[in-house]
Structure formats: C-alpha cells, structure tokens
Amino acid sequence: MLERFPAWRISLSAALHHNRSQPQSRYVQLATVRKNGQPANRTLVFRGFLEHRDQLQFITDQRSAKVEQIAEHSWGEICWYFAKTREQFRILGKLSLISAEEDNSELQTVRHTLWQNLSDKARSQFTWPHPAKSRESESERFDTNLSADIPPSSYFCLLLLTPSEVDHLTLRGNPQNRWKYWQNQDLIWQSQAVNP
C-alpha cells in the first residue's frame, strides 16, 4: 500500500535529499519555553520520521533542561535551515517524551532501536556526569565508547515532535516563495502560498 505524505513532508524530503552532502543538514534548532516563561533554543540531530507517522524523531538525555521545560509546556518549534538550497522550514508542534518508563511497547521498541543505531560515541554520552552541572575533573568519567550490546541508558529518551503548522520559505527564486501548511479540524493538511 502506498503511503500518502502531506505536501510539506514531500518538500522537506526533497530538501534533505538535495542537501545530503552536508552532515549539518540534519541539524535543527528546537525552541521551547522555560518554566519562567523565557524561550530556550538548542541544536538537535534529526533522527528520521516515526514509521508510518509524520512525527519527527529526536533523542535527549532525561537530565537535560529541555525535559523539564517540555513537561511544563509541551509545544516546540523547530527551525531548519538548509544552506545549500537556501530554504527554511519552521515546524510547530507538540513534543512528547518516550523515556525508559514508557508503557507503549511499540514506542519502547523504537527507543531501543534508536539506541542501537547510535554511534558508540553518541551512546557513551548518556553515561557522562550530569549535563550543565559544574565540570567533573576526572576524565575517566567521560567514556567515549559504549557498545550497542549495552541496554539503553535509563537517561536515554526518544523525543517526538507532532507537527501542527509548517512554514516553508525558499530564498532562491525572484522573488522568494513561502507556503503555510496547517491541519484543519479533521486533521487534514491545508496549504496556502503567502507573501515571503
């Protein structure tokens, strides 16, 4: 059976394809809101779409400040700039965290698979001392290799973004082009060309 993707996802897949020579084309900036109402913003690596879903996968350490922020305010917006094709996607949506305690067995399986697919170096970061706390001086606390045979760290979380609005801007073209995408009440994606 053919899957039907929303139009924004087809444009995003094209951008990922055309920019694939640049590893940083899979890096996005995620904005969240802190407990005190101030915004926060950091770079994350896009880990593909959840199978048969339009949800974007990321990973995070449960000790990271964003986990506390998301527990309070579950909305996030990623900004994704593709340097080679000079286009930007802004994706607003709800964030959900799949931790070691997740009961949904399908999502728990996805969490395990993502853990196994990480590099040894990326995996090892979840065994490091508490992020953003005063620097630990013993370098042996920062192992840089952790084999895939080790089960997922209890700090290792899957982070899902469920898009509800997308803004796509292309700087190429004369003038630029910009489209808005949103879901109607039946969750059907709508789109409109707007002024850049």
Residues that bind a second copy (CB under 8 A): 22, 24, 27, 29-33, 37-43, 73, 75-79, 81, 83, 88, 90, 92, 125, 128-136, 139, 142, 144, 167, 174-175, 178, 180, 192-196
CA dist 99 → 11, 41, 144, 156 (Å):
31, 21, 22, 7
| Listed residue (128, 167, 165) closest to 144, CA to CA | 128
* CA torsion, ordered 51, 56, 59, 62, to nearest 10 deg: -110
82/74 Cα distance (integer angstroms):
26
Q: Min. distance of Cβ 194 from a second copy in angstroms?
A: 5
94/186 Cα distance (integer angstroms):
17
130/61 Cα distance (integer angstroms):
9
Compute the Cα dihedral for 33, 131, 48, 150 and give only its sign: negative
Q: Min. distance of Cβ 23 from a second copy in angstroms?
A: 8
Q: Min. distance of Cβ 152 from a second copy in angstroms?
A: 20
Taking the least distance from each CB to a second copy, the nearer of 87 and 110 is: 87
Taking the least distance from each CB to a second copy, the nearer of 49 and 75 is: 75
Taking the least distance from each CB to a second copy, the nearer of 22 and 154 is: 22
Q: Min. distance of Cβ 185 from a second copy in angstroms?
A: 18
Q: Min. distance of Cβ 183 from a second copy in angstroms?
A: 15
